[in-house]
Amino acid sequence: MGRAMGRFSQMHDAMVFAFLLPPVLELGNATGVDFQLVDRGGLEHAEMMEARNMFLGMAMQDARLTSVRPNGMEDVPEFRIDVDWARAGALGVPITSIHNTLSAAFGSAYVNDFIQSGRVKKVFVQADAPYRKLPSDLDKLYVRNVAGKMVPFSSFASTHWTTGSPRLERFNGFPSMNILAEPAPGLSTGDAMAAMEEIVSKLPSGVGYDYQGVSYQEKQSVSQTAPLYAFSVLVIFLCLAALYESWPIPISILLALPLGAIGGVIASSLRGLPNDVYFQIGLLTTLGLTTKNAILIVQFAKARTEQGLGLIEATLEATKLRLRPIVMTSLAFGFGVLPLVLTSGAGAGAMNAIGTSVLGGMVTGTILVVLFGPLFYVLIEKLFGKRTNGSQPVDANAQTPTPGN
pLDDT tens-digit map of 212-222: 888 888 887 77
Query: For position 292, which CATH number holds?
Result: 1.20.1640.10
Please, how many CA atoms are within 13 Å of residue 193, restricted to the half-sphere of its CB? 22
Give yes or no: residues 64 and 45 share one domain: yes
Q: Would the pLDDT of 226 be above 70?
A: yes
**For residues 146 and 72, which has the higher predicted lDDT (pLDDT)?**
146
Position 285 pLDDT exceeds 70: yes
> pLDDT for 228-272, tens place per residue?
778 878 888 888 888 878 888 888 888 888 888 898 889 888 888
In a domain, 394, yes or no: no
Do residues 275 and 187 touch, judged by C-beta distance below 8 A? no
For range 294-310, the mean pLDDT: 85
High-pLDDT (> 90) share of the chain, %: 21
**345 and 280, same domain (yes or no):** yes
In a shared domain, residues 270 and 379: yes
pLDDT at 87: 92
> 115 pLDDT exceeds 80?
yes
Q: Is the same domain home to 133 and 173?
A: no
Domain residues for the domain of 133 are 77-163
Residues 255, 375 within the same domain: yes
> What share of the chain in percent tops pLDDT 70?
93
- 317 shares a domain with 287: yes
Question: Do 153 and 244 belong to one domain?
Answer: no
pLDDT digits over 24-82, tens only? 676 767 778 889 999 988 888 888 889 999 999 999 898 899 888 888 778 888 889 99
Predicted confidence at residue 72, as pLDDT, reads 78
Give, for 278, the enclosing helix (H) or strand (E). Answer: helix 277-306
Q: Would you state the pLDDT for residue 386?
A: 62
Average pLDDT over all residues of the chain: 84
What is 62-122 written as a DSSP string? -TTEEEEEE-S---EEEEEEEE-HHHHHHTT--HHHHHHHHHHHHT-EEEEEEEETTEEEE
pLDDT computed for residue 392 by the predictor:
40
Considering the domain architecture, whether residues 198 and 230 belong to the same structural domain is answered as no
Specify the number of domains making up the chain: 3
Q: Measured on CA atoms in the order 130, 133, 139, 144, is the torsion positive or negative?
A: positive
Residues 257 and 333 occupy one common structural domain? yes
Of 233, 223, 337, 239, nearest to 282 by C-alpha is 337
| 318 belongs to a structural domain | yes
**396 located within any domain:** no
Kindly state whether residue 400 falls inside one of the protein's structural domains: no
- Of 17 and 359, more confident: 359
Q: Name the pLDDT band for 402 (thresholds 50, 70, 90).
A: very low
| Position 7 pLDDT exceeds 80 | yes
**Same domain, yes or no: 207 and 185:** yes
What is the pTM (predicted TM-score) of this model? 0.58
AA letter at 90 = A
> CATH code at 28?
3.30.70.1440
Digit-coded pLDDT (tens) for 75-109: 888 889 999 999 999 999 999 999 999 999 998 99
Pick the range with the lowest mean pLDDT from 141-145, 229-233, 367-371: 229-233
